[in-house]
Structure 1
Amino acid sequence: MDRSGWMLAGLVALLAALSALWMLQGLGAGNRGFVLGLRAGKLAALVIVGAAVAVATVLFQTVAANRVLTPSIMGFDALYVLIQTTLVASFGTAAYAGLPAGGKFLSEVAVMTALACLLFGTLLARGGRDVPRMILTGVILGVMFRAMAGFLGRIMDPSEFAVVQSVSFASFNRVNADLLPIAAAVTALAVGLALRMAPRLDVLALGRDAAVSLGLRHQALVLAALALVSALVAVSTALVGPVAFFGLIVAGLAHALARTARHRVLLPAAALIAACLLVGGQWLFERQLGQAATLSVVVEFAGGLFFLYLLLKGRIR
């Protein structure tokens, strides 16, 4: 087994140990089946979100040829907040709370994925050289979505606005267990397709001119990769809420540990690192610190600092 194999095996062992600690620590003599069921549902959500965010970020950075960017720059989080704000403003707090969880989840994923694919397909119609223009358009759309959500928030009832605020930030404590099979299926399919594309992604990372000269169908692969990105980000966002900078941390750690550009190693490494960070972090804040802090807030703060570090490092070089 080479170095990459040992690294992946170590990450799998670490995730297994953290999962066992999460499931078994403090398990009393009461209704163990009920407690284990609750813990298993949250564990599955943490692993699904971690894998989805990590793989989406690595794919997006490969397409954009930039390891500072994350899919959140395309305005996914702003679109999610706009959807929630529109639903609350249209139906009211009581009707919003009574919406079928499965239908609402699938609708959110479908809307975000469809809009992203429409954007990607339209702007990349003339070839992969339009990737920077696509990113800039995503930034502009994100600003527009935030402005629309802010306008609706100003004219709605304060109690309705409080509901919008509660779902506008990522939370790993309010995951609906009924949505996990759907989210797991979509994530597993997308990750499997990404791994199947790994050799071609290695060629894509060489740059457009080099990839085309080697016979790669550049535009088709870029569109396929971005479609997977949109599906993965939509699933993770609809499941727990917007997570902006977490993928940046995970992708950076994956590149540092793997020390290779091969996506067959980078993708599973990033997914395993993300799952370990989320499971270990949630265990720390929930079991050891008594919910004295929120994992999503700490992750976003650390991700922001890491983003600034990457910018300064690039500027110095």
Structure 2
Amino acid sequence: MAADTMPSPAIMQRPADHGPAPVLRLVLLAGVAVVAVVAYLTIGALDAWSLIAPLRLPRVAAMVLVGLAIAVSTVLFQTVTENRILTPSIMGFDSLYALIQTGLIFVLGSTTVIGMPPLVRFGVELTAMMLFSALLYRWIFGGPRRSLYLLVLVGIVFGTLFRSLSAFMQRVIDPNEFLIVQDRLFASFNGVSPTLLAVGSVVLALCLAVVWTMRRDLDVLALGRDTALALGVDHQRKVLRVLALCALLVSVSTALVGPITFFGLLVANLAYLLMGTHRHAYVLPGAALLAVVTLVGGQTVLEHGFGLDTVLSVIIEFAGGIVFIALLVRGGKR
């Protein structure tokens, strides 16, 4: 199992904090993120700012929102599972999103789905993913065997089931509608409704506020279940709360732009590396800022350097896949 391939953060060698160094690194990352956002908004747009700004501002907002949600949810999930090669997508959220998109077009038809108000479609997708996670958590943690590893295994099984159902429906629908389904299965930051951005921003702000109040408890949870219990932390209650936050964050980001499987894995591990500490007060904002730099900076390079010859999500998935393989090889050598 994946948990056997990487040691838990509790037994990994942890570099000591060096005074203000993590704070200085966060300030530098924040500066790079601001530069990336300003560059994306202004390059080639100063002569026609009034025309271009309404197009670029929603894209930047969507990238920032999704980047924060995925980065924070991945760090949280890796903390409670004590494993650095797992992401919330392993629970089957990406496969469930694909099943929802395929099922809507299979049942209602592409014309009805395209004409559906964005807020209604967002609500359906968000409700379905949250309901799935709630039932899954209640089933696993409500029974006698309350195991995180069992939760991950069941999530993998459900993900396989959802992919199989999606593949079956995609084979029997009209070829033209199949193309529409395929287009919806790739993450896209274009055309996100301002209303959805506003709703997503409110949900994200509430989640981040709760996560920040839990940052010290997260440091204890990263030490393992036995240590957390010995230090007086209600391990099961905290883990359930963290998993619920992960589910909500992933559901919001996926419903907004689609699935990005390996993006969280990439920025979370880079955050641990760059911050030089495992304290969540630094790792969480570090991962969030790295996500903004990666998404906004990458989109800037693609649009103005390569003329949009490819899609950013494809490059991110490629780079994240390489990091995933590297972590597996590194864990195997250990």
Alignment TM-score, normalising by the size of structure 2: 0.92
Cα deviation per residue 1:89-148 (whole Å; 9 max; x = unaligned)?
A: 111111110001011112211210121122122212358950000000000000000001
5 Å-filtered alignment, 1:85-164, equals 85-126=102-143, 130-164=147-181
CA contact (8 A) 2:75 2:268 kept: yes
RMSD: 1.3
Q: Secondary structure at the match of 1:178?
A: helix
Rounded Cα–Cα distance in structure 2 between residues aligned with 1:239 and 1:2: 37
8 Å contact 1:172–1:240 — kept in the other structure?
Answer: yes
CA distance in 2, matches of 1:14, 1:69: 27
User: Is the 8 Å Cα contact of residues 73 and 138 (structure 1) preserved in structure 2?
Assistant: yes
Percent identical pairs in the alignment equals 44
Query: Please, which runs of 5 or more residues in structure 2 have no aligned partner?
Result: 1-18
Q: Look up the match of 1:44.
A: 61
Corresponding residue SS for 1:29:
helix
Query: Whole-Å Cα distance in 2 between the matches of residues 120 and 228 of structure 1?
Result: 12
Partners of 2:53 and 2:173 in 1: how far apart? 40
Q: Mean alpha-carbon deviation: is it higher for 243-252 or for 123-132?
A: 123-132
Identify the match of residue 248 of structure 1 among 241, 257, 265.
265
Which 4+ residue blocks in structure 1 deviate beyond 6 angstroms?
none
Using the alignment, how far apart are the partners of 1:255 and 1:59 within structure 2?
13
TM-score normalised to the size of structure 1?
A: 0.97
In structure 2, C-alpha distance between the alignment counterparts of 1:93 and 1:192, rounded to whole Å: 38
The CA deviation string for residues 137-185 of structure 1, in whole angstroms up to 9 with x for no partner, is 0000000000011111111111111111110111222423331101111
8 Å contact 1:127–1:219 — kept in the other structure? Answer: no
Map residues 142-291 of structure 1 onto 2, 5 A cutoff. Answer: 142-291=159-308
For residues 20 and 146 of structure 2, the distance between their equivalents in structure 1, rounded to whole angstroms, comes to 37
Partner amino acid for 1:159? N
Q: Which runs of 5+ in 1 are unaligned?
A: none
Give the distance between the partners of 2:283 and 2:28, measured in 1 at CA: 14
Q: State whether residues 202 and 261 of structure 1, in contact with CA within 8 Å, keep that contact through their aligned partners in structure 2.
A: yes
- Structure 1 Cα separation of the partners of residues 46 and 24 of structure 2: 36
Matched, 1:82 2:99: yes
| Equivalent-residue separation in structure 1 for 2:269 and 2:62 (angstroms) | 22
Give the Cα–Cα distance (whole angstroms) in 2 for the partners of residues 246 and 202 of structure 1: 23
**Does the Cα contact within 8 Å between 1:22 and 1:283 map onto a contact in 2?**
yes
Choose 282-291 or 118-127, whichever is displaced more. Answer: 118-127
Change (3 A) 1:127 1:272: farther
Question: SS state of the match for residue 90, structure 2?
Answer: helix
Q: Match of 1:10?
A: 28
